[in-house]
């Protein structure tokens, strides 16, 4: 399990998701000069729900190493959700002019990239397993 490349990518995704849980998304300064900090899960309830789903998908993909197809699908779905979160943040950035976003806004994009790299690693492993199975069947049929 630990020697495969998709496990490394999923661990990176899990670390970034956990960093998102405790990091700030943006700061808003009122006209009075007061600064309000928005955390990811408190910003909008939808971000909290998406963050919970993304956490569950990444952790589930991390522990389902025996089923490569399921691991590939879970990591692809996690990448799509992270890409959707990044798109939502981009929409917020261009729509609302008040908030100052922090550097943790790029985390969903990094999660998306690492999840798709993990899915690619699962796909390559599945191709290797199918190739080895074909060779075994060919040898078995020749005897």
Task: List, as one string, the DSSP characters of 46-100.
Answer: HHHHHHHHHHHHHHHHHH-TT-HHHHHHHHHHHHHHHHHHHHHHHHHHHH-SS-E
Confidence of residue 1 (pLDDT cuts 50, 70, 90): low
Structure tokens belonging to residue 36: 């309000």
| Domains of the chain with CATH codes | 5-142 (1.20.140.150)
Q: Per-residue pLDDT averaged across 70-92, rounded? A: 91
Between the CA of residue 63 and those of 6, 10, 88, 130, what are the distances in Å?
11, 10, 29, 22
Q: Per-residue pLDDT averaged across 116-124, rounded? A: 92
7-21: pLDDT as tens digits: 999 999 999 998 888
On average, the pLDDT of the chain sits at 84
Is 25 within 8 Å of 102 (Cβ atoms)?
yes
Q: Between 27 and 102, whose confidence is greater?
A: 102
- For tokens 């990518």, name the residue: 9
């Amino acid at each position: 399990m630990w020697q495969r490349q998709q496990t490394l990518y999923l661990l990176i995704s899990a670390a970034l998701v956990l960093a998102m849980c405790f990091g700030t998304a943006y700061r808003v300064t009122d006209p009075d000069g007061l600064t309000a900090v928005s955390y990811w899960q408190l910003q909008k309830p939808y971000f909290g729900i998406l963050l919970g789903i993304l956490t569950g998908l990444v952790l589930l993909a991390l522990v389902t190493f025996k089923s490569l197809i399921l691991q590939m699908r879970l990591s692809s779905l996690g990448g799509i959700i992270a890409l959707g979160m990044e798109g939502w943040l981009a929409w917020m950035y261009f729509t609302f002019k008040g908030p100052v976003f922090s550097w943790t806004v790029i985390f969903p994009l990094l999660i998306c990239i690492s999840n798709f790299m993990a899915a690619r690693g699962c796909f390559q492993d599945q191709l290797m397993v199918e190739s080895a199975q074909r060779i075994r069947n060919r040898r078995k049929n020749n005897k």
